[in-house]
């Protein structure tokens, strides 16, 4: 029972595309990326269950059934991904209402720290230029 | 008494359904939530009393036998975690009720809050009780889904911004976890933890390492282990105070619990222990250096949270009886203390109108009670004797010295430095916010609700948690007994497998 090569390739492509989209700034693209990753993982689990007929007693002989447990797990995973996608979409919409776009923004504190560092740099440059230094202004908290 | 085991999951879920139905009656909602969580606390205490003698309770949900069906397992470690989490969630709930009452629900839409909070509790308890990997995943998803709602409650601009980071990062970690589950199932044909314990050993080393790496990656993000921790200080501080408190106390520790469980049961002796130790050292140092640089109390506390996750990893990475026992003790201590500190930070925000150190001052005179409520857990966190933080760190240091390796000694040094720097960071908060002469012009933050004061319920629940955190010192002897027995049991692995499968162990 070797896995289906086509499905393996599809899983790989979905993973790659999903990760690429996840790296975008735009939340809508991130959502698409997460959906793709979710589908990739579901297919991966399906592949893990082996290749065979529908696991229904009386339809397929027992030896040739595929694993029903993986399919049950995928069902759970699909439901979870659906809920999360809905929440993310609501968030993207809210972000669009509030900001007019749905780009993921920089951390405010990070930006402040960068500004502090730039100011310190600027002060240090001034210090070397003219001696009366702005003592203590650099490490202002 | 096995019928007790599923109750900590079922009761909050039923409570959530009930509170959702009562969304127009806030008082009834409050009554239901408090009753449910108090009952959960009682049940978890009974579970701990039952398991503390070494009996492991298991329930096959729906009567389906273990390898195929879902099994819930309550051993010493799980029961201990359950009790602490139930106590903390109950206190935080009471705090949030106090806050909601003074705010007249302007900032906290109570109708969503209570169901989401109860579902969060159910997710946490489900993760602690899970006996198979997929159920652990479901537990994580339950608590994460609820946490997404809680962290963005009110949907203000800043909460949406910070919530986006949180949600996307959490989803990514869940997807990694799910991928690991798929691969583990493909490799072994089972997800039952007890069965995996035997089957994973049979796999080639490289494959084991790969699977272990994926699980560690997924749990590392959830537990905020450096370098996977950047999302935490970026997202926790903007939520409302009780939400931040319960997230900081519990959610990362669920990740730590998952690391403990999988490391000891599935991958007992792999090379990953070294990676864990290095990650522990970096988490401690980078985290605490971040805390020293912060000028906002909530962000500062978020960084100390990351840094102290390092202590737990230290204990897990040593993989010895003493180390693991120290790690479990530290988890218990840290859940309580970190939650208390965030609740105190919430009180500071209400009293001073902000949590920015630049604008706070003179709180020691304005609110002496608040001073005590912040000071005690802060000293506890920094590890001043005789508090439990000191005892926990001492346990870990002893374990490190007993190990004797170069890396272990480095970590011992790192732990001491981190402890000192924690004291420095906490001291800075104390000096600036409490002892400095008050600034006159204090423009409140946009999000803060100034002048509301602290209601009696908020102070009362914080006092309860401070007392609990301080009382850990008194019960530390018995607690260390329980943690060391739990550690021995975990490293032995046999009791867990035997409890799930009985005589016919696979």
Per-residue pLDDT reduced to its tens digit, A10-24: 999 999 999 999 888
Q: Do B171 and A88 touch (CB under 8 A)?
A: yes
| 3-state SS class at B243 | helix
φ and ψ at residue B59, rounded to 5 degrees: -135, 125
Chain B CB within 8 Å of residue A84 CB: yes
Distance from CA of A141 to the nearest CA of B (A): 7
Q: Do B171 and A47 touch (CB under 8 A)?
A: no
Q: For the range B482-485, what are the long-range contacts, defined as Cβ-Cβ under 8 Å and sequence gap of 24 or more? A: B482/B52, B482/B76, B482/B80, B483/B80, B483/B325, B483/B326, B483/B328, B483/B329, B483/B332, B484/B321, B484/B322, B484/B325, B485/B54, B485/B76
Range with lowest mean pLDDT among A27-31, B14-18, B198-202, B246-250 = B198-202
Q: Is the dihedral of CA B58, B62, B67, B71 positive or negative?
A: negative
Share of chain B above pLDDT 70, in %: 94
Q: Is the pLDDT of residue B300 over 70?
A: yes
B506 lies in a domain? no
Per-residue pLDDT reduced to its tens digit, B165-206: 899 999 999 999 999 999 999 888 888 888 888 888 888 888
For the CA atoms of B381, B386, B392, B393, the dihedral, rounded to the nearest 10 degrees, stands at: 70
Range with lowest mean pLDDT among A11-15, B3-7, B98-102, B374-378 = B98-102
CB-CB contact of B306 with B290 (8 Å): yes
B197 lies in a domain? yes
Q: Which residues of B touch A55 (CB under 8 A)?
A: none
Q: Is the pLDDT of residue A133 over 50?
A: no
| 3-state SS class at A28 | helix
User: What total of structural domains would you count in chain B?
Assistant: 1
Contacts of B217 (CB under 8 A, 6+ apart): B173, B176, B228
- Nearest CA to B248 out of B167, B345, B313, B157 is that of B345
More confident: B210 or A2: B210
Per-residue pLDDT reduced to its tens digit, B228-271: 888 888 888 888 888 899 999 899 999 999 999 998 888 887 77
B505 lies in a domain? no
B438 lies in a domain? yes
CB-CB contact of B336 with B295 (8 Å): no
B389 lies in a domain? yes
More confident: B478 or B105: B478
β-sheet bridge partners, residue B72: B59, B130
Tell me the CA distances in angstroms from B245 to A88, A115, B254, B364, one per residue in order: 24, 30, 14, 22
B64 lies in a domain? yes
Picking from A22, A88, A141, the nearest residue to B167 by CB comes out as A88
Q: Do B152 and A91 touch (CB under 8 A)?
A: yes
Q: How far apart are CA B204 and CA B188, in angstroms?
A: 12
**Which residue range forms the structural domain that includes residue B250?**
2-500
User: Tell me, what's the pLDDT at B311?
Assistant: 92
Q: How far apart are CA B369 and CA B344, in angstroms?
A: 10
ipTM above threshold 0.90: no
Chain B CB within 8 Å of residue A38 CB: yes
3-state secondary structure B37-57: HHHHHHHHHHHHHHHCCCCCE
């Amino acid at each position: 029972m070797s896995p289906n090569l086509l499905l393996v390739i599809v899983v790989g492509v979905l993973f790659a595309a999903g990760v690429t989209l996840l790296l975008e700034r735009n939340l809508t693209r991130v959502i698409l990326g997460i959906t793709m990753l979710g589908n990739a993982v579901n297919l991966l689990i399906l592949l893990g269950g082996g290749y065979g007929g529908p696991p229904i007693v009386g339809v397929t002989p027992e030896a040739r059934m595929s694993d029903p447990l993986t399919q049950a797990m995928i069902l759970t995973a699909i439901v979870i991904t659906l809920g999360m996608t809905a929440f993310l979409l609501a968030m993207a919409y809210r972000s669009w209402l509030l900001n007019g776009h749905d780009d993921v923004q920089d951390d405010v504190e990070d930006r402040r720290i960068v500004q502090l560092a730039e100011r310190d740099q600027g002060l240090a440059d001034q210090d070397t230029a003219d001696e009366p230094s702005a003592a203590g202004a650099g490490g202002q908290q | 008494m096995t019928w007790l085991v599923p109750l900590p999951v079922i009761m909050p879920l039923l409570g959530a359904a009930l509170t959702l139905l009562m969304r127009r009656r806030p008082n009834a909602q409050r009554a239901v939530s408090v009753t449910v969580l108090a009952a959960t606390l009682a049940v978890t205490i009974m579970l701990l009393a039952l398991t503390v003698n070494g009996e492991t309770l298991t329930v096959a949900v729906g009567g389906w036998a273990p390898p195929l069906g879902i099994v819930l397992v309550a051993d010493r470690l799980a029961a201990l975690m359950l009790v602490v989490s139930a106590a903390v969630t109950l206190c935080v709930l009471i705090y949030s009720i106090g806050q909601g009452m003074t705010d007249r629900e302007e900032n906290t839409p109570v109708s969503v809050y209570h169901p989401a909070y109860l579902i969060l509790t159910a997710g946490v308890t489900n993760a602690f009780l899970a006996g198979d990997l997929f159920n652990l995943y479901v537990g994580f998803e339950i608590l994460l889904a609820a946490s997404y709602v809680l962290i963005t409650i009110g949907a203000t601009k800043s909460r949406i911004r910070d919530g986006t980071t949180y949600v996307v990062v959490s989803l990514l970690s869940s997807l990694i976890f799910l991928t690991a589950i798929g691969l583990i199932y493909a490799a072994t044909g089972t997800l039952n933890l007890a069965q995996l314990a035997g089957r994973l050993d049979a796999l080639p080393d490289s494959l084991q390492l790969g699977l272990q790496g994926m699980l560690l990656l997924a749990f590392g993000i959830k537990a905020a282990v450096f370098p996977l921790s950047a999302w935490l200080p970026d997202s926790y501080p903007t939520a409302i105070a009780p939400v931040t408190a319960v997230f900081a106390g519990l959610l990362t520790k669920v990740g730590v619990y998952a690391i403990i469980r999988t490391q000891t049961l599935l991958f007992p002796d792999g090379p990953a222990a070294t990676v864990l130790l290095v990650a522990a050292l970096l988490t401690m140092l980078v985290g605490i250096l971040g805390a020293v640089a912060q000028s906002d109390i909530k962000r500062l506390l978020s960084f100390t949270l990351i840094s102290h996750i390092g202590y737990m990893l230290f204990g897990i990475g040593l993989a010895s009886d003493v180390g693991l026992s120290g790690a479990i003790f530290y988890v218990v201590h840290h859940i309580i203390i970190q939650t208390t500190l965030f609740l105190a930070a919430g009180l500071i925000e209400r009293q001073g109108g902000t949590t920015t150190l630049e604008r706070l001052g003179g709180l020691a005179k304005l609110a002496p009670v608040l001073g005590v409520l912040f000071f005690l857990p802060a000293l506890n966190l920094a590890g001043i004797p005789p508090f439990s933080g000191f005892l926990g760190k001492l346990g870990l240091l002893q374990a490190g010295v007993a190990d004797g390796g170069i890396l272990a000694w480095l970590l011992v040094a790192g732990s001491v430095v981190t402890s000192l720097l924690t004291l420095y960071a906490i001291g800075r908060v104390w000096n600036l916010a409490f002892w400095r002469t008050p600034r006159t012009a204090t423009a409140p933050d946009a999000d803060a609700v100034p002048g509301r004061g602290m209601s009696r319920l908020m102070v009362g629940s914080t006092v309860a948690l401070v007392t609990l955190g301080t009382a850990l010192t008194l019960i530390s002897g018995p607690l260390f007994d329980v943690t060391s027995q739990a550690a021995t049991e975990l490293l032995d692995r046999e009791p867990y497998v035997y409890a799930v499968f009985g005589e016919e162990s696979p």
